Amino acid sequence: MENFTLPAEWAVQQAVQLTWPHAQTDWAPRLAQVQSVFAQIGAEISRRQELWVAVHDHDSHEHCLQALERAGATLDRCRLFRVPSNDSWVRDHGPILLKNDLGQRRILDFAFNAWGLKYRADLDNQVTRHLHGQGAYGNLPLATVGMVLEGGSIDCDGAGTLLTTSSCLLSPNRNPHWSREEITGQLCHLLGVERVFWLESGYLEGDDTDAHIDTLARFCSQDVIAYQSCDDPYDSHFAPLQQMAAELAGFPRADGSPYHLVPLPWPAARFDEEGNRLPLSYANFLIINGAVLLPTYEDPADALAISRLASVFPDRQIVPIPCLELARQHGSLHCVTMQIPA
């Protein structure tokens, strides 16, 4: 890809992109509550960089502007674009931007099939192309890629190493015609990385993405990985997350030394009205310019999660965002955002 590579999330950003929840989405029963969470996320972003929002229609445009204003957003940094959508998980249907050493950028628009054909995705799969057509990305070149890939399924250190999970990328409803070796080759070729670490263990009950990496383990720098731990031996997650931690400990840095691993605390189990467990993860944080937006869950472990991330990101403000409303739809904060590198 002509020396283009996927930047780390902590690299300087131009913007963060959202897809606004609307009444034709699964958010409808609690739309006001979830729009308030989106507005809080958007307001924090707009205080530090640009905020780009895809809004479904005229009504969504008005609701979005009003919610952002109520949340105290810096409105002159907010850009709204009218684009129809099925849902709001822009981490997975949004653009993936690459950069080269000259500072040039290009956009990859991977195929999105709603986490292996689980839901309708015909509109979401066109959001990036619609935004590009409206000039949201200026004159950046866009390449449409036939490979099915969600942004939440990969995490990169910006120096050639990518982290992912086999349960997601090898699931039969994404790219069934490719082997692990062929998918590794595609990731290296398309994203400009040199190494792909595949996690075999780790999952969250209630997650319908087949174990996205951004709910489990995240690069915080080129030598630090924060991961979702579980210290309750009676919890169903204990063994798989312990095994995941052991796998992470076995991954070498480029120079052969081990990564510094930072365990994130385990929140107590929470359930929806039907008794389904919510997939709560502190690993689903978003790094932006000068801050880290951390999902919180009205749990005593919130404070420890804030402290752990503050030790990892001493030069960034840790901003807690209550995200139980997002968890009701099986995701969290990182899942509803996509950063645009500067």
Q: What is the pLDDT of residues 322-340, one digit of tens each?
A: 999 999 999 999 999 999 9
Burial of 120 (0-12, 13-18, 19+ CB in 10 A): exposed
Contact residues for 140 (Cβ-Cβ < 8 A; gap 6+): 97, 105, 106, 107, 132
Residue 1 resides in a domain: no
> Is residue 47 included in any domain, yes or no?
yes
Q: Tell me whether residue 23 is in a domain.
A: yes
Domain range for residue 295?
Answer: 13-341
pLDDT tens digit sequence for 158-183: 999 999 999 999 999 999 999 999 99
The full DSSP string for 184-223 is: HHHHHHHH--SEEEEE-S---TT--SS--GGGTEEEEETT
Residue 167 belongs to what H/E stretch?
helix 166-169
Structure tokens given for 13:
């950003």
Residue 133 falls within a domain, yes or no?
A: yes
Choose, from 78, 156, 323, 335, the residue flagged as catalytic: 335
> Residue 44 falls within a domain, yes or no?
yes
In whole angstroms, what is the distance from residue 61 CA to residue 247 CA?
A: 45
CA–CA dist 148, 45 (Å, integer): 28
Distance from chain centroid for Cα 113: 16
Q: Residue 32's domain is classified under what CATH number?
A: 3.75.10.10
How far apart, in Å, are the Cα atoms of 122 and each of 48, 125, 145, 217, 323?
A: 33, 5, 16, 30, 27
Per DSSP, helices labelled H in 251-332 are: 301-312, 324-327
335 is catalytic: yes
**7 located within any domain:** no
Q: How many distinct structural domains can be found in the chain?
A: 1
Token code pair at residue 226: 């924060």
The answer to whether residue 161 sits within a structural domain is: yes
**For the chain, which ranges sit under pLDDT 50?**
none
| Rounded Cα–Cα distance for residues 190 and 213 (Å) | 19
Residue 224 contacts residue 260 (beta carbons within 8 Å): yes
> Which among 227, 224, 205 is positioned nearest to 216, based on CA atoms?
227
User: What is the model's pLDDT at position 2?
Assistant: 72
Residue 269 forms part of a structural domain: yes
- The size of the chain, in residues, is 342
**Confidence at residue 285, expressed as pLDDT on a 0 to 100 scale:** 99
